[in-house]
Amino acid sequence: MQLQITRPDDWHLHLRDGAALASVVSASARCFARAIIMPNLKPPVTTVAQALAYRQRILAALPPEADFQPLMTLYLTDNTAPQEIEILAKTPGMLGVKYYPAGATTNADAGVTDLRKVWGVLEAMQSYEVPLLIHGEVTAASIDIFDREYLFVRHVLDPLLEAFPCLRVTLEHITTTEAVDFVLAGESRLAASITAHHLLLNRNAIFQGGIRPHYYCLPVLKREIHRQALLEAATSGHPRFFAGTDSAPHARQHKECACGCAGLYTAPAALELYAEAFNSLEALDKLEAFVSFRGADFYRLPRNSGSLTLEQRDWMMPEHFNFAEHEEVIPLRAGQTIHWQLAVPA
């Protein structure tokens, strides 16, 4: 079986920097035409000048034949200057601002401690129509890790949207029925991205026969009922759910240790894994809109021209890939079968 679709985009991607960047960027560029690049480097990307310099490093790391556009984001901190938003809005290659609640995830220490500190920035974003991309999890230590997303939606996102009635918002990598319902009930300025791994896995994966660090990501995998709700949302044809892989590579030794990092490296088969998820509901006819149209429409960008072909054919994901200098990264499904494959262009 073959499926031809318009070239897709990845609306949430971690490419890292330096030698690590060079080892992962082609996995995304092999199929995605564009990707929103996350700014959670060390130190974070907090100015347009830094984002443009990072963009140049990404372009320089691409294989010569690649046709891939990085869309850059700024990392919102308590100290972001509202003036930076005007610069962002006028700079080609810049897409939006990423809000990490301080401490919510990998390299989120410099995130926002209190939204009141960034009120002026949000006002500027609203007036320049700059989208806010949100890692939607509350961070209080007393709150159960599995409840962090829906409590964020209820207690932070809902009031935020009320306070800024024209702010454009993406709730990124959603993982719960509550987030799905909130987006369904929301206005057209609110959208959500969904990863392939949250469509394919529930939280049992983290504990299958022992503790499995390569299934630990944030937001953490949830119960099966949530996975079902995400699958339903993704395949529903609703215009405000779209693909964002959240492919987040870490060196093997930073995953397999006493305090392993959060993040799944899905880029080597991200599109193929979305195809698997959609096929599980016999909804392959909805895949193209989800991976190639909805995100572009929401971000008011042209849809891609050109197409690619997926074939239903088994292949084996390598056990690991080289990563940075003398390290390796373990992809999702390492050493296991992937059921779809990109056809090599004739």
Q: Which residues bind Zn ion (CB under 5 A)?
A: 246
Give the Å distances, CA to CA, from 110 to 42, 48, 114, 192, 262. 10, 17, 12, 24, 17
The DSSP bridge partners found for residue 208 are none
- Is-contact 179 150, C-beta < 8 A? yes
Residues near ligand NCD (CB under 6 A): 14, 40, 105-106, 135, 217-218, 246, 248, 262-263
Pull the structure tokens for residue 252. Answer: 């093997």
105 binds, among ligand NCD, Zn ion, none (CB under 5 to 8 A by kind): ligand NCD
Give the Å distances, CA to CA, from 335 to 178, 321, 331, 339. 34, 11, 9, 13
- Is-contact 258 216, C-beta < 8 A? no
CB of 155: closest distance to ligand NCD in angstroms? 19
- Is-contact 309 315, C-beta < 8 A? no
135 binds, among ligand NCD, Zn ion, none (CB under 5 to 8 A by kind): ligand NCD
- Give the count of beta carbons closer than 10 Å to the beta carbon of residue 142: 5
263 binds, among Zn ion, ligand NCD, none (CB under 5 to 8 A by kind): ligand NCD
Q: Which is nearer to ligand NCD, 33 or 248 (CB)?
A: 248
Q: Which residues are the active-site residues?
A: 246
Q: Which is nearer to Zn ion, 221 or 310 (CB)?
A: 221
CB of 60: closest distance to ligand NCD in angstroms? 21
Nearest to 17 by CA among 46, 1, 32, 39: 39
Q: Which is nearer to ligand NCD, 289 or 332 (CB)?
A: 332
Q: Which is nearer to ligand NCD, 295 or 304 (CB)?
A: 295
CB of 123: closest distance to ligand NCD in angstroms? 26
CB of 246: closest distance to ligand NCD in angstroms? 5
